[in-house]
Structure 1
Amino acid sequence: MMRPSIRVSVIFWAVALLMCFGYGISRLLHFKQIFFQHAGIAITQTEALKAYKGPDDSRPQYIPKIIHQVFHNWHEPGNETLPSDWEKVRQTCVKSNPGWEYKLWTERTSREFIETEYAWFLRTYDNYPFPVQRVDAVRYFLLLFYGGIYLDLDNGCKADLSPLLYYPMWITDGGRGALSNNILASRPNHPFWARLTHSLLPWSYNWFFPYVTISYASGQWFETAIWEEYHALLPPVDAFPNHEHRLYRLMMDDRMDRPDLDPWVFFTQERGGSWVNWDNYLFLMIGDHLFLFLFSLFTLIGGSIWLGLRLYRRYRAGYSRVKTQPEERYMI
């Protein structure tokens, strides 16, 4: 028969495991929007180009002509020289947008900006476990403070970006899974970025897996969750015709082999993968076989629960038989 102390330990760890499992499931359910249609107004790049009437466009221009890019050299700290291939990609945006202000934020200037303008966030910024999280976070603060268009260094420009300046705020949507944070744009002081930047503190957890920690604490998953939360607070689009408060998703599906999808009119995609960790490929594989993964996961969970109940019933049955038998010390 199991001793009382062992039985208490088993019950304690079983309850702790169930609580952790329940919390994990609640977070997954909270983040179910990753795999479904997102809020906001979808617009293709072709539609944005056709709506543009040239320099004499009568629509209000919300987004300033500023391009932000962030370069933090994790391999050679202090070296602020862009790799040659990224410099070549950067020049496509400089040449396509003459007269625009171009800002390249290094590790030093990024931290100085946070320390000067958002000192309340500096401790969290410095304590991020992965350097790419600082790159994620600073882009949000830059758009909140300056406005403009943010691009990752592996994204280049195919054309003048002026047609994209007439929407108060937009992010990119790959059309499958979470929203993207590699290309973003906004007018200064948009309330979405205010909500998102203040949400960075309570979402700053380490989830053991690097990919999950990066994505869920500051990256695409985090951005998607805050996007859905923000839209849940807004009345329906038809209820407020004020254009300035409408948020857009610029469609940018990267499956170039699909002729039925809208082409990339403004941007290019070059070398990336600068923050790939050991678990990236695992989660990419899960994403490509999501239904199989979910089926296997729930099968495993169901099987574990069934086995646990069966073992518990056998234990209870054996315990009952022992209780009904006289102990040897009382036998003559």
Structure 2
Amino acid sequence: MMFRCGRGLKLLTLVVLIVLLYAATQQYLFESFLRRRYITFDDFPKAYSNALKASTADNTPLEYDYNTFPPSTNASTLIPPTIHFIWFRDLYAHQLDRPDHPSHIPHEGSSAPQLCIEHNPSFTVNVWNATAARKLLEDHYSWFLPTYDNYRYPIQRVDAFKYFVMYHYGGVYMDMDVACRRSLIPLLQTPGWFPKAEPFGVNNDLFAARQGHGIMQMMIERLESRDWNLIFPYVTIFWSTGPQFASDMVRRWYSKGWAKRYNAGDSKQDSDADAFYTLPPEFYSEKYTFFGHSPGGTWHGEDVAVVLWLVDRPWVLLLLAAASTTPFMIVAMRMRRLRQETFKV
């Protein structure tokens, strides 16, 4: 009996280690894929790339005639010149007067839409409020209203609606704490992109897609199945509609054929209408960024401190994973020693 128990614990430990190794390998392959899909300077006209680098180096306004940007041969497969913001007034009104955790969603609105208009005068800029958002869902996606209305946290409705409006219209979606720093015309030349998150996956505070993009369709179709209450507010939002949901959907899209295509060495310069790319940190939140970022995290609850602490210390997660298998190893070793002593007797 003891011998069988020891073998069972060894087998269980081995299975756990294999599962962890498999998950780590798959994550590594996905992260490698995201980096291979980076939008780079080589994807822009050379004159524009040189102008962007020069203006950044000299800290001077970018001088470039966007009318000279190469015209698209098939505009229907590219991101349309539309920017979407979502502002549900007083979404977190109970935080407006809290000095320990004030709301970062402006009570009076945001200057982000106006900045985007100034830098993109030829674009359409939409600011969706709660009434307009619900009207779009009622008119075209009424099947989702039960889930939409029953979300536990208000920010889940904002997150969910951003996927619907992007599928329905296409364009560039931006949270209200993200603003334009320059023209976004250079970033419209693909069917879609997501900004790279660190250390893993993609972000959902900013992304772009053509109208009817396959990833957007998959997102709106899978929101219902992700509507789980995971006890902690941050974890629930993060997984059900937030950045983890977006990352999982992109990863799922990648696993459905795209991994085979691009791991086989297909060129990034493809003509697939459902292709997607990755906006690297240098264009998203670093040196050559097209966007400005102000403090966000309005929906963060008290539990977020623990989560963010762990994210900043990935070695702790590794220790926890190792610790979870340690008890099984100890029990197995003790059972083995006991069995050996029994055999000696």
TM-score normalized with structure 2 length = 0.71
Aligned residue among 21, 29, 39 for 1:43: 39
Letter in 1 for 2:27: Q
Letter in 1 for 2:245: F
Task: Assess if the C-alpha contact under 8 Å between 1:33 and 1:225 holds in 2.
Answer: no
Letter in 2 for 1:66: T
After superposition, the Cα gap between the structure-2 partners of 1:255 and 1:88, relative to the gap in structure 1 and judged at 3 Å, is closer
- The Cα shift of 1:149 comes to 0.6
* 1:327 matched residue in structure 2: none
* 2:100 matched residue in structure 1: none
Task: Assess if the C-alpha contact under 8 Å between 1:216 and 1:222 holds in 2.
Answer: yes
User: Following the alignment from structure 1 to structure 2, what is the Cα–Cα distance between the partners of residues 175 and 253?
Assistant: 12
Give the share of equivalent positions with the same residue, in percent: 28
After superposition, the Cα gap between the structure-2 partners of 1:201 and 1:50, relative to the gap in structure 1 and judged at 3 Å, is farther
Map residues 1-332 of structure 1 onto 2, 5 A cutoff. Answer: 29=23, 33=27, 36-39=31-34, 41-44=37-40, 47-48=43-44, 50=46, 54-56=66-68, 57-60=70-73, 61=75, 62-72=78-88, 73-76=90-93, 83=106, 87-232=110-255, 233-234=257-258, 235-237=260-262, 238=266, 241-252=270-281, 263-298=287-322, 300-305=323-328
- The Cα shift of 1:278 comes to 1.1
Task: Assess if the C-alpha contact under 8 Å between 1:172 and 1:179 holds in 2.
Answer: yes
Return 32-41 or 137-146, whichever deviates more: 32-41
Provide the secondary structure at the position in 2 that maps to 1:274. Answer: coil
Letter in 2 for 1:247: F
Letter in 1 for 2:66: G
* 1:328 matched residue in structure 2: none
Cα displacement string for residues 237-287 of structure 1 (whole angstroms, at most 9, x for unaligned residues): 42894243421011126997xxxxx62331111121211111111111111
Cα displacement string for residues 213-260 of structure 1 (whole angstroms, at most 9, x for unaligned residues): 11111111111111111122235142894243421011126997xxxx
Unaligned runs of 5+ in 1: 1-17, 257-261, 314-332
Cα displacement string for residues 30-70 of structure 1 (whole angstroms, at most 9, x for unaligned residues): 99639943446111478547586832423344222211001
- The Cα shift of 1:289 comes to 1.0
User: Following the alignment from structure 2 to structure 1, what is the Cα–Cα distance between the partners of residues 226 and 272?
Assistant: 30
Letter in 2 for 1:68: H
Q: Greater CA radius of gyration, 1 or 2?
A: 1
Task: Assess if the C-alpha contact under 8 Å between 1:41 and 1:246 holds in 2.
Answer: no
Task: Assess if the C-alpha contact under 8 Å between 2:172 and 2:209 holds in 1.
Answer: yes
Cα displacement string for residues 110-160 of structure 1 (whole angstroms, at most 9, x for unaligned residues): 122112211111111111111111111111111100011100100111111
Pairwise CA RMSD of aligned residues?
Answer: 3.5
- The Cα shift of 1:301 comes to 2.2
Task: Assess if the C-alpha contact under 8 Å between 1:46 and 1:265 holds in 2.
Answer: no
Letter in 1 for 2:32: Q
Unaligned runs of 5+ in 2: 1-11, 49-64, 95-104, 337-345
User: Following the alignment from structure 1 to structure 2, what is the Cα–Cα distance between the partners of residues 146 and 45?
Assistant: 28
Count the aligned residue pairs.
Answer: 285
After superposition, the Cα gap between the structure-2 partners of 1:267 and 1:241, relative to the gap in structure 1 and judged at 3 Å, is closer
Return 122-131 or 289-298, whichever deviates more: 289-298
After superposition, the Cα gap between the structure-2 partners of 1:36 and 1:265, relative to the gap in structure 1 and judged at 3 Å, is closer
User: Following the alignment from structure 2 to structure 1, what is the Cα–Cα distance between the partners of residues 331 and 275?
Assistant: 51
Task: Assess if the C-alpha contact under 8 Å between 1:67 and 1:149 holds in 2.
Answer: yes
